[in-house]
Structure 1
Amino acid sequence: MGEYKPPFTITNKILSYVSSISEKIGRITATSNMETKPHLRRNNRIKSIHSSLKIEANSLTLGQVRDVINGKIVLGEKKEIQEVKNAYAAYEHLSEINPCNVQHLKKFHGIMTKYLVKESGEFRSGEEGVFNGEQCIFMAPPARFVPQLMEELFAWMQEAQEDIHPLILSSVFHYEFVFIHPFSDGNGRMARLWHTAILAKWKPVFEYIPVESQIEKFQDEYYEAISQCHVAGESTIFIEFMLSQIDKILTDISTQIGEQNKYLPEPVQKLLEVMEYDVPYTSNALMEQLGLKAREGFRRNYLHPAIELNLIQMTIPDKPNSRNQRYVKV
Structure 2
Amino acid sequence: MDKYQSFYQPDSDISELVQHIEVLLTEWAERIALISSQQGLTLQHRSLQASLALDHNSLSVVQLQELAAGKRVVALVQDIRQAKNALALLQQLDSLKPYQSTDLRRAHAAFMATVVSDAGQYRQQGAGVYEDHKLVHMPPAPSKVEVLVDELFDGLQHEQLHPLISSSLMHYQLAYIHPFSDGNGRLCRLWQQLILIQWQPSMAYLPFTAVLKEKARDYQKTLRQAAPKYDATNFILFMLRSIQESLTAELQQLAQSSITQPVVLPDQPLVNLSQFVQLKAQKVKGKTPGPWYKTEDQILKKLKKDNRLSAKTIADELGLSSRAIEKQLAKLKAEGKLVRTGPAKGGRWQVVA
TM over 0.5: yes
Partner of 1:183: 180
**Offset of 1:233 from its aligned partner?**
1.9
Letter in 2 for 1:10: P
When the two chains are superposed, the root-mean-square deviation of aligned CA atoms in Å is: 2.8
8 Å contact 1:215–1:222 — kept in the other structure?
yes
Letter in 2 for 1:184: S
Partner of 2:26: 26
CA distance in 1, matches of 2:89, 2:199: 19
> What SS does the corresponding residue of 1:178 show, helix, strand or coil?
helix
> What SS does the corresponding residue of 2:281 show, helix, strand or coil?
coil
8 Å contact 1:69–1:84 — kept in the other structure?
no
Asked if 1:264 is matched to 2:260, the reply is: yes
Partner of 2:314: none
Letter in 1 for 2:55: E
Equivalent runs, 1:65-144 vs 2, <5 Å:
65-132=64-131, 134-144=133-143
Q: 1:107 to 1:212 in 2, by over 3 A?
A: same
**Offset of 1:256 from its aligned partner?**
2.7
Partner of 1:323: 281
> Percent identical across equivalent pairs?
28
Letter in 2 for 1:149: L
**Offset of 1:57 from its aligned partner?**
1.1
CA distance in 1, matches of 2:61, 2:31: 29
> What SS does the corresponding residue of 2:73 show, helix, strand or coil?
coil
CA distance in 1, matches of 2:44, 2:107: 17
CA distance in 2, matches of 1:137, 1:48: 27
Equivalent runs, 1:194-209 vs 2, <5 Å:
194-209=191-206
CA distance in 2, matches of 1:212, 1:52: 6
Equivalent runs, 1:156-175 vs 2, <5 Å:
156-160=155-159, 163-175=160-172
Letter in 2 for 1:214: V
**Offset of 1:113 from its aligned partner?**
0.5
8 Å contact 2:3–2:230 — kept in the other structure?
no
Q: 1:90 to 1:250 in 2, by over 3 A?
A: same
CA distance in 2, matches of 1:54, 1:135: 21
Partner of 1:215: 212
Letter in 1 for 2:246: I
**Offset of 1:253 from its aligned partner?**
1.4
Partner of 1:226: 223
Query: Number of residues paired by the alignment?
Result: 277
CA distance in 1, matches of 2:61, 2:44: 11
> What SS does the corresponding residue of 1:120 show, helix, strand or coil?
coil
8 Å contact 1:4–1:152 — kept in the other structure?
no
List runs of 5+ in structure 2 lacking aligned partners.
271-276, 288-353
> What SS does the corresponding residue of 1:136 show, helix, strand or coil?
strand
Deviates more, 1:227-236 or 1:99-108: 227-236
CA distance in 2, matches of 1:43, 1:135: 37
**Offset of 1:211 from its aligned partner?**
1.6
Partner of 1:41: 40
Q: C-alpha deviations, 1:155-189, integer Å up to 9, x for none? A: 102212xx100000000010000000000111001
Partner of 1:56: 55
- Could you state the TM-score of these two structures normalised by the residue count of structure 2? 0.72
Equivalent runs, 1:284-323 vs 2, <5 Å:
321-323=279-281
**Offset of 1:131 from its aligned partner?**
3.6
> What SS does the corresponding residue of 1:6 show, helix, strand or coil?
coil
Q: C-alpha deviations, 1:188-224, integer Å up to 9, x for none? A: 0100111111100010011111121111111100111
Letter in 1 for 2:30: A
**Offset of 1:44 from its aligned partner?**
1.3
**Offset of 1:16 from its aligned partner?**
1.1
CA distance in 1, matches of 2:114, 2:192: 24
**Offset of 1:87 from its aligned partner?**
0.6
Which of 212, 233, 251 pairs up with 1:254?
A: 251
8 Å contact 1:50–1:65 — kept in the other structure?
yes
CA distance in 1, matches of 2:254, 2:174: 32
CA distance in 1, matches of 2:13, 2:169: 15
Partner of 1:279: none
Partner of 2:343: none
List runs of 5+ in structure 1 lacking aligned partners.
268-294, 301-318
CA distance in 2, matches of 1:243, 1:108: 25
CA distance in 1, matches of 2:53, 2:132: 11
Q: Please identify the structure whose Cα radius of gyration is greater.
A: 2
8 Å contact 2:43–2:206 — kept in the other structure?
yes
> What SS does the corresponding residue of 2:136 show, helix, strand or coil?
strand
**Offset of 1:135 from its aligned partner?**
4.4
CA distance in 1, matches of 2:154, 2:3: 10
**Offset of 1:266 from its aligned partner?**
6.4
**Offset of 1:4 from its aligned partner?**
8.9
